[in-house]
Amino acid sequence: MSKITEDPIYAGEAARPPRKRGGGGMTWILVVTASLLVIALPTMIILFFGLLPSVVAFIIDRTKGKSAAITVSGVNLIGVFPFIMDLWKGGNTFDQAINMLDIFTMLIMYSAAGMGWLLFMTTPVIISSFVMVLQQRKIANLRKQQKDLIEEWGPEVAALTEDFDSAGGIIPHTLPGGATEQNDGSMPPP
């Protein structure tokens, strides 16, 4: 018998189904949204129409971390925020919110979301290019150090390298004097 069925402390846990997790976050989002609709309807109107690209980004982003959706939403919110500030300075009325939703306002909000997509698409390319340049510089420095070591210690230092054939086996190298060496992975003699 297993430990779980023998121990009286664990005996009840084997029959008990696991608790369902999740869904609580969505419930809170709905409660907060419903409350804000009652309290701050003009602000919610601007947020609804302004953050539609963010909603679309969350729907189409299937990655685990939702990095595209987070990037687009952050920049989209930056584009919406100045209009919310204007709404709050002007009295925060329903008529003012509807009048603010002209083509110019929507163009700015959606262009900000477009900049978020551009940022999401170009940043990995720029970072990978930067890392590649750094790695090439590191390789050049290592080759220079290798060249200096060969000049100091002689070409025999560079002759004992391992190459692998297409089947994954080690190719024997020709040593000075015509002898061949097959390295089996063990430590060389002292």
Note the pLDDT of residue 33: 81
The three-state secondary structure class of 180 is strand
State residue 130's pLDDT score: 95
Task: Rounding to the nearest 10 degrees, give the CA dihedral for residues 37, 43, 45, 50.
Answer: -130
The SS3 assignment for 171 reads: strand
Query: Is the model more confident about 169 or about 183?
Result: 169
What is the average pLDDT value for the chain, to the nearest integer?
80
In this predicted structure, what is the pLDDT of residue 187?
Answer: 46
Q: Give the pLDDT of residue 145.
A: 92
pTM over 0.75: no
Confidence at residue 153, expressed as pLDDT on a 0 to 100 scale: 86
How does pLDDT run across 31-48, given as a tens digit for each residue? 888 888 888 889 989 999
pLDDT band at 157 (very low <50, low <70, confident <90, very high): confident
CA dihedral sign, ordered 152, 153, 154, 157: negative
62-86: pLDDT as tens digits: 989 899 999 999 999 999 999 999 9
Among 61, 64, 54, 65, CA closest to 114 = 54
- Judge whether 94 and 46 are in contact, CB under 8 Å: no
Q: Domain extents for the chain?
A: 20-124, 137-181
